[in-house]
Structure 1
Amino acid sequence: MATRIGIVTVSDRASRGEYEDRGGPAIQDYLGEVLTCPFESICRVISDDQSLIEQTLRDLSGPEGCCLVVTTGGTGPAPRDVTPEATEAVCQKLLPGFGELMRKVSLEKVPTAILSRQTAGICGRSLIINLPGQPRAIRECLDAVFAAVPYCIDLIEGPYLTTDESKVKAFRPKK
């Protein structure tokens, strides 16, 4: 059975069809490049509505059985940017190091990275990671944190994720 991974684009305009979703496909492409284990993507494009984001995260991490849920969009300072709040509301444990590292890497490229509020946390047996909305920033942020993702999934008793070590060398402690 293939590992299930949720990909959530949070965007009012994309959810209404006014804007092409580029974030979700960028995440899908990245995962396709770095993961060597079979996986199935469960994709959603939703509006910037906190209750809807929360419900989507709960569905993907619960009944849909995703071990990893990656969001794009809704992490800025605008009034409708509420993805981090929704993530924090559904997670039992927050992992602030993900956001800290993603901001550090992004700050090397653009000074406005300090405005980004992406975070990560554990919801049940799922790791949820919030990413910015721009495809280039998505790749930079995933490159920064993905080495820790397979081991985190191990620790929450999820499936064993394998990576193409020429792209991302997953870190696991030596036994």
Structure 2
Amino acid sequence: MRWKVAILTASDRGSRGEREDTSAQVIRELVEEEMNGEIIEYRVVPDEKDEIMAALIEMTDYYSADLILTTGGTGLAMRDVTPEATLAVVDRLAPGFAEAMRAGAMQKTPQAMLSRAVSGIRGRTLIINLPGSPKGVHENLAVIMDQLPHALGILTGREGDHG
């Protein structure tokens, strides 16, 4: 089964072209290699709640992504507003993904407890916040990757709750 995946990077410097978006490249590689995903949309926006919200809504409602993976904006800095933007657009929470990622990342670095990442559902789209660093993206996605196809199958109605 091929999954439609969108990547949204929240980065002031990235949106101005001042920084290469290596975290999105890690997401792209893992999605294509590990879960048979197709990247249908990719965007870099500044750390602005309204712009993040607008991009999430468009990726869900217009592009009909099965999964949106965000990178960046999940820390404690004042400009880190990705979780708030995500919470503003989701219909339901799916907290297990964020909880599992934090728990898994804590095994590697205690700084993982600083993550405010959230995960939720808008319509039939799963939205998961990832950290901004390539290493953090890889470590967090590795924790949840094996559960994503089943979760997306249930969410999109392609499979029942119990496989």
Name the TM-score, length of structure 2 as normaliser.
0.92
The CA deviation at 1:126 is: 0.3
What code does the residue aligned with 2:116 have? R
Structure 1 runs of 4+ aligned residues shifted over 3 Å read: 172-175
Alignment-derived partner of residue 59 in structure 1: 58
Alignment-derived partner of residue 115 in structure 1: 114
Identical counterparts, % of pairs: 40
TM-aligned CA distance change 1:108 to 1:3, over 3 Å: closer
The aligned runs of 1:1-175 (5 Å cut-off) are 3-36=3-36, 39-157=38-156
Gaps of 5+ in 1: 161-171
The CA deviation at 1:117 is: 0.8
What count of residue pairs does the alignment treat as equivalent? 163
Query: Deviations 1:115-148 (Å, cap 9, x if unpaired)?
Result: 1111110011100010001111111111111222
Q: Write the distance in 2 (CA, Å) between the matches of 1:174 and 1:101.
A: 20
Choose between structure 1 and 2: higher helix proportion: 2
Contact preservation (8 Å) 2:28, 2:39: no
Name the TM-score, length of structure 1 as normaliser.
0.86
TM-aligned CA distance change 1:55 to 1:40, over 3 Å: same
The CA deviation at 1:89 is: 0.7
Aligned-partner SS, 1:78: coil
What code does the residue aligned with 2:4 have? R
Gaps of 5+ in 2: none
RMSD between aligned residues = 2.0
TM-aligned CA distance change 1:58 to 1:106, over 3 Å: same
Q: Write the distance in 1 (CA, Å) between the matches of 2:56 and 2:123.
A: 11
Contact preservation (8 Å) 1:67, 1:127: yes
Bigger CA drift: 74-83 or 39-48? Answer: 39-48
Bigger CA drift: 10-19 or 103-112? Answer: 103-112
The CA deviation at 1:174 is: 5.8
Q: Write the distance in 2 (CA, Å) between the matches of 1:11 and 1:158.
A: 33
Q: Write the distance in 2 (CA, Å) between the matches of 1:30 and 1:157.
A: 21
